[in-house]
Structure 1
Amino acid sequence: MTASPISPSANADLQYRPVGATDETRFEQLHTEIFPSAERGSLAVAAEIATLIRSKGEAGQACVLGLATGSSPIRVYEELVRRHREEGLDFSHVITFNLDEYYGLPRSSQSSYWYFMHEHLFDHVNVSPENIHIPRGVLPLEEVFAHCMDYEQRIKEAGGLDFQLLGIGRTGHVGFNEPGSNSRSLTRLITLDHLTRSDAAAEFNGIANVPTRALTMGIATIMQARRIVMMAWGNKKAEIVRKAVEGAPSVQTPATLLQGHPNLTMVLDTEASAQLTRIHTPWLVAPCRWDEALTRQGIIWLSRHVKKPILNLTERDYNLNGMSDLLASRGSVYQLNIDFFNTLQRTITGWPGGKPGTEGQGRPERATPHRKRVIIFSPHPDDDVISMGGTFARLIEQGHEVHVAYQVSGNIAVSDSDALRYAEFCYDLNKKMGGQNDRLPAVIAELSGSRNDLASNSKKVLDIKALIRRGEAIAGARYLGTPDEHIHFLDMPFYETGRSKKKDLGAKDIQIVRELIERIRPHQIFAAGDLADPHGTHKVCLDAILQALTQLRTDDSPAITDTWLWLYRGAWQEWALHEIEMAVPMSPRQVEQKRTAIFQHQSQKDGVVFQGEDDREFWQRAEQRNRKTAQLYNQLGLTEYAAMEAFRKQAF
């Protein structure tokens, strides 16, 4: 296997790395490099591409790049643009071939890959227009085959691909080579998998608008590239990454068909690597340093693997499952089991704000001050009740001063039909009361008409949709007992584009968050750590909080001298058991209370705009996830509860 130019020196930052073994990657069929973040990985990939472009230019040769679209390569393109502007990276000799394009989508569409590539790269560098090649999305069906064969010929005439950049979809597709694609496939028209279309739904204002077909380079076309780099970021990609890297070649997972390439590197962030054997169960590949975090991960895995409560685990269980060195380092299986059982038991608390009079008992949260000031940051107007509605209510019941801050308006997640219903109601009510409103008829007409090319709503319509979300958020927070003066709407500017694509996080966004923290001076902050959110909004909102806290820490601000940050997860994923540091149990009554709070968000029920790949309603996802967490704790041998909400403490 050819050595990769990518060198992630940041690998030293990984938490769980087996020691002294040369076979830690023995389960992996693809050369894989892991970076601490998507940012770091993207910069490394961009650096390799830039080096190739320069070396080809210095040799007087064309540099032929195969390029990808989607969220994965965006930061790579941003860095290439920066290098062009600030370092003179020259694209005049670069020839590009894109992997794919939606069939039936004109290049003028903001959802087309033609538009994407010009928006993120081509409009900002000096690549010649005649050197840009992207499959045509609009052409008669009878011309598709000839167009695809011509695309293949153009790649050959350019001298073949020097470098192919890839992402990987959750079906295992590369390009749009969906399950069933074989190793001999060339550029062609293909039908998209439902999961692929679900993942793209946010870019099309709902899955109903996502094209069902696409043109894509084939597996054989990709394999002819002299160098391939495949990227994957985030927890949502972890399972398919494991299959692609460790599974046998199969048409059911098309990415596995690239395993025979002599110069391919899979580039991951830590979340995307989470299911690889060397990360998920490193004791199965090499001796480990059994620190506290890895011990926690290992014992929980062993208990679930052998289907025994922790206190029933035996020496034989440890020895037969690659954990004999852990047992040997502790001496007594009884002591090892009881110590960890007690540690896990102390994560469970019915007092998320701290229980008075329990100093020194090892509980997740401090006992003092008895009455804490709390900020619950909710990215969207319903994440608070979906993700931690039971804990939210308990904090209020136990006398803490709880503020909830809704970071974005959530307006694009309201359907036109819902907005129309509210607009017509307001118009009829105003008319009934003898008033006049000249603006509502135009709004009603807009909402009644057909949307052209997924165009954004007008500002007036977006305002109506934002007010719908705001009213629902107030209703949910009030239901749990929050005073109106403790409900805050931040309306962070990065979000207000009217489309799924948002602006970058800006100084104003961070300042808004900082000012609220300075005003309240919280002892506890709860924030969304659910980075699998398909909108990407959760990550931006968390970044704003972390950057605001970093600024305050740098300024030695008294506002955060006694602040702890707890992260929850929402509708899209849950913390793994070994990551949970506070588990708040709920009774059946509290489960019903949380459900009712979620029901206040009527616009997010019954056919929500951004459903994702999960057909369940948000209240069902949350309830079933909370019940599962409680069941998992019970299976480990701890007390049985109806449901649990889980949190992880975050340093800042």
Structure 2
Amino acid sequence: MARLNLLEETRYEKLPVTVYANPAAGAVAVAQRIAALIRSKQADGEKTVLGLATGVTPIAVYAELIRLHKEEGLSFKNVVTFNLDEYYPMQPGSVQSYVLFMNQNLFDHIDIDRDNIHIPDGTLAEDEIAAFCLNYERQIEELGGLDLQVLGIGRTGHIGFNEPGSAPNSGTRLVTLDDLTRTDAARDFGGKENVPTKAITMGVGTIFKAREIILMAWSKKKAPIIKKAVEGEISGDVPATFLQLSDNVEFILDEPAASELTRFDTPWLVKDCIWDNDLKKKAVIWLAGKVNKPILKLIDEDYNNNGMAQLATEQGPVYQINIDIFSQIQHTITGWPGGKPNADDSHRPERAQPAKKRAVIFSPHPDDDVISMGGTFIRLVDQGHDVHVAYQTSGNTAVWDDDVLRYVEFAIDFNKSINDDSTKLQGIHNDMRAFFAKKQPNQIDAPEVRAVKGFIRKSEAIAGARYAGLHDDHIHFMALPFYETGKVSKNSVSQIDVQMTVDLLQKIKPHQIFAAGDFADPHGTHIVCFNIILAALNQLKETEDWVKDCWLWMYRGAWFEFATHEIEMAVPLSPDEVLRKRYAIFKHQSQKDPAVFPGEDSREFWVRAEDRNRETAESYDQLGFAEYAAMEAFKRYFY
């Protein structure tokens, strides 16, 4: 019976999927399977032939394999590896090279024979590539084929670098990279213009011949493409869908990556549900969107025809369900994000008391505060609350080099205008120009350059916070040490980062904390900064009574908003407030036209923010609520 229930839940899924609570658990499971295969082959005196992937996804798997080698004696003497791909052209010593990646993350730490390592050669002359690729295939075949192929998946649906349009029988070859793939790699290369346009990759047909295929995906960012790969039709537009044809494939996901699969996203379509309030709210909002009706106009037929008959039967009549959910959503709307003084707060998202609250807005980068919640920021100040803003990092990697020269040249001219000696500053300027002339992509900036870039971001943040109404003594620059590496990759968080946050919170003793709750990228600055805040609060609550009355509100960044059913406080903005928010964002001139790291979205940050806030207001309007120009959304976090 349990097997039948599982088949019913997964009936939309066209290949096997296993979901783990987090990436760490999934990575350990994959590593254990690889280790078991190696040991089994060793016992039979055979070689293990592995296909390996690069990128963020497999790093934890490789770390666990290293641990198994060092602590449990797992030997790689009988292992032969073939990597999926390499950028072209690419020098093996480059920081972006997959040769360097594999050495740093696996090969340098295990006992593998170096002659057994195979990685596509990014240094070949172009007329040598075809012969190299044929030989790469031949070497795999002579070893009896791949025993196990480890895969990640790109947001285009690529496996390896088999981009949309790849043939299902394709072999190892030179390919042209999709624009989105190059955009996703831009941060590693110090800008999209530095990302190679080509790569050498194993083909779909090569991958397909492996006796076992494991595709891993972590984070919410991968959820949309995972849904297409697992539940969509087989298509060259999404190369990963070709894996549906294999009898030897399994997708290993964490919960966020699996979140858009039908059994998790809309479970009422595949099984009977336990209808707690959160699921009921999500389902009713989904139904209203599905049939294009306001909540209060939904009828029995809508429920019955869209998989929600169980809810109607168990908790109906449906009109009462509609009224209940409508009322809950209505109570999220407030023009008083700090609480409305002397009002009944039993149905308001924030407390009425104290009437004037101490609030701290944590901003991971120097512009997240105004981009993500600029309207609410201004509203809190206007309503008389004691508002502080804390910029957790300097953001100094996200400034163009020519902006540095422009600011230094301004300082030189200013010094000359007041008859001050600018000789030393001119020397620094000359050194900077010489450095920039020879600078390689993602090369660490000289200390003086990093300092000026940090000053640029700091001056912009001060201007934005002042525009929102803050005095300078309420503007805090933390420059948390984990970030200050001068590189795209950051250090691990230390107790110093946490203690700095503890000290600031102890000084302010806030009633409200606003923090970036954007967890789409588990390796991004936002989630690192959020976890630092959380660690600080958990440390403080052991000894500080005020922490019990401190509420933590999460906001989202410029790219994604909370789903409507997740929103617990929605702050409407008038057209004038939208403009004020825009002008606050405009203070961050270094992040415009374009920003150094714009992501995959070509819109400027202020446009993204306005579009997102307008879309949130429209989603409320479509559900039957008042029509606002824009809304900023928040969700409370219980620590």
Is the CA contact 1:19–1:286 (under 8 Å) kept in the aligned structure 2? no
Secondary structure in 1 matching 2:515: strand
Could you say which residue in structure 1 is the equivalent of 2:450? 462
Q: In the alignment, residue 192 of structure 2 is paired with which amino acid?
A: I
Could you say which residue in structure 2 is the equivalent of 1:13? none
- Of residues 123-132 and 170-179 in structure 1, the stretch that sits farther from structure 2 once superposed is 123-132
Could you say which residue in structure 1 is the equivalent of 2:85? 100
Could you say which residue in structure 2 is the equivalent of 1:80? 65
CA 62–504 in structure 1, closer or farther in 2 if over 3 Å, else same: farther
- Mapping 1:577-588, distance limit 5 Å: 577-588=564-575
Q: Say whether residues 1:401 and 2:386 are aligned partners.
A: yes
* C-alpha deviation, 1:21, in angstroms: 5.6
Aligned partners of 1:645, 1:143: CA distance in 2, in Å?
Answer: 55
Could you say which residue in structure 1 is the equivalent of 2:191? 206
Is the CA contact 2:19–2:254 (under 8 Å) kept in the aligned structure 1? yes
Percent identity over paired residues = 55
Could you say which residue in structure 2 is the equivalent of 1:537? 525
Could you say which residue in structure 2 is the equivalent of 1:326? 311
Could you say which residue in structure 1 is the equivalent of 2:489? 501
Q: In the alignment, residue 206 of structure 1 is paired with which amino acid?
A: G
- Kindly provide the CA deviation profile for residues 111-132 of structure 1, in whole angstroms up to 9, marking residues without a partner as x: 1111111122222222222221
- Kindly provide the CA deviation profile for residues 166-221 of structure 1, in whole angstroms up to 9, marking residues without a partner as x: 11111100000000111110110000000111111111111111100000000111
Is the CA contact 1:443–1:460 (under 8 Å) kept in the aligned structure 2? no
Is the CA contact 1:18–1:283 (under 8 Å) kept in the aligned structure 2? no
Q: In the alignment, residue 642 of structure 1 is paired with which amino acid?
A: A
Could you say which residue in structure 1 is the equivalent of 2:422? 436
Structure 2's unaligned 5+ residue stretches are none
Could you say which residue in structure 2 is the equivalent of 1:344? 329
CA 86–265 in structure 1, closer or farther in 2 if over 3 Å, else same: same
Q: In the alignment, residue 147 of structure 2 is paired with which amino acid?
A: D
Could you say which residue in structure 1 is the equivalent of 2:615? 628
* C-alpha deviation, 1:437, in angstroms: 4.5
Is the CA contact 2:188–2:442 (under 8 Å) kept in the aligned structure 1? no
CA 235–99 in structure 1, closer or farther in 2 if over 3 Å, else same: same
Could you say which residue in structure 1 is the equivalent of 2:460? 472
Secondary structure in 2 matching 1:388: helix
Could you say which residue in structure 2 is the equivalent of 1:510? 498
Q: Say whether residues 1:46 and 2:34 are aligned partners.
A: no
Secondary structure in 2 matching 1:612: coil
TM-score (norm 1): 0.94
Is the CA contact 2:50–2:82 (under 8 Å) kept in the aligned structure 1? yes
- Kindly provide the CA deviation profile for residues 537-593 of structure 1, in whole angstroms up to 9, marking residues without a partner as x: 11211222222223334x343351212111111112111111111111100010000
Aligned partners of 1:482, 1:505: CA distance in 2, in Å?
Answer: 29
- Kindly provide the CA deviation profile for residues 369-395 of structure 1, in whole angstroms up to 9, marking residues without a partner as x: 222221211111100100000111111
* C-alpha deviation, 1:514, in angstroms: 2.2
Q: Say whether residues 1:335 and 2:320 are aligned partners.
A: yes
Aligned partners of 1:84, 1:366: CA distance in 2, in Å?
Answer: 54
Query: How many equivalent pairs are there?
Result: 635
Is the CA contact 1:18–1:286 (under 8 Å) kept in the aligned structure 2? no
Structure 1's unaligned 5+ residue stretches are 1-16
- Of residues 319-328 and 512-521 in structure 1, the stretch that sits farther from structure 2 once superposed is 512-521
Secondary structure in 1 matching 2:549: coil
- Kindly provide the CA deviation profile for residues 447-492 of structure 1, in whole angstroms up to 9, marking residues without a partner as x: 6514225422111111110110011111101110112111111111
Q: In the alignment, residue 77 of structure 1 is paired with which amino acid?
A: Y
Secondary structure in 2 matching 1:27: coil
- Kindly provide the CA deviation profile for residues 80-121 of structure 1, in whole angstroms up to 9, marking residues without a partner as x: 223333333322322211110000111111011111111222
Aligned partners of 2:95, 2:619: CA distance in 1, in Å?
Answer: 44
Which of 263, 272, 278 is matched with 1:293 structurally? 278
Could you say which residue in structure 1 is the equivalent of 2:545? 558
Could you say which residue in structure 2 is the equivalent of 1:34? 19
Aligned-residue Cα RMSD (Å) equals 1.9
Could you say which residue in structure 2 is the equivalent of 1:244? 229
Aligned partners of 1:515, 1:587: CA distance in 2, in Å?
Answer: 36
* C-alpha deviation, 1:19, in angstroms: 11
Q: In the alignment, residue 432 of structure 2 is paired with which amino acid?
A: I
Aligned partners of 1:409, 1:57: CA distance in 2, in Å?
Answer: 51
Aligned partners of 2:147, 2:6: CA distance in 1, in Å?
Answer: 34
Secondary structure in 2 matching 1:23: helix
Structure 1 runs (4+) deviating above 6 angstroms are none
Secondary structure in 2 matching 1:322: coil
Secondary structure in 2 matching 1:325: helix
* C-alpha deviation, 1:329, in angstroms: 1.3
Aligned partners of 2:4, 2:503: CA distance in 1, in Å?
Answer: 45
- Mapping 1:229-240, distance limit 5 Å: 229-240=214-225
TM-score (norm 2): 0.96
* C-alpha deviation, 1:650, in angstroms: 1.2
CA 533–559 in structure 1, closer or farther in 2 if over 3 Å, else same: same
Aligned partners of 2:498, 2:77: CA distance in 1, in Å?
Answer: 38
CA 537–242 in structure 1, closer or farther in 2 if over 3 Å, else same: same
* C-alpha deviation, 1:361, in angstroms: 2.3
* C-alpha deviation, 1:533, in angstroms: 5.4
Is the CA contact 1:420–1:448 (under 8 Å) kept in the aligned structure 2? no
CA 411–339 in structure 1, closer or farther in 2 if over 3 Å, else same: same
Secondary structure in 2 matching 1:200: helix
- Kindly provide the CA deviation profile for residues 45-90 of structure 1, in whole angstroms up to 9, marking residues without a partner as x: 2232233333333443322221111111122222222333333332
Aligned partners of 1:435, 1:561: CA distance in 2, in Å?
Answer: 55
Q: In the alignment, residue 612 of structure 2 is paired with which amino acid?
A: R
Aligned partners of 2:150, 2:74: CA distance in 1, in Å?
Answer: 18
- Of residues 112-121 and 299-308 in structure 1, the stretch that sits farther from structure 2 once superposed is 112-121
Secondary structure in 2 matching 1:611: coil
- Mapping 1:86-485, distance limit 5 Å: 86-433=71-418, 434-438=420-424, 439-446=427-434, 448-485=436-473
Is the CA contact 2:194–2:441 (under 8 Å) kept in the aligned structure 1? no
Secondary structure in 2 matching 1:364: coil
Aligned partners of 1:556, 1:244: CA distance in 2, in Å?
Answer: 49
Q: In the alignment, residue 614 of structure 2 is paired with which amino acid?
A: R
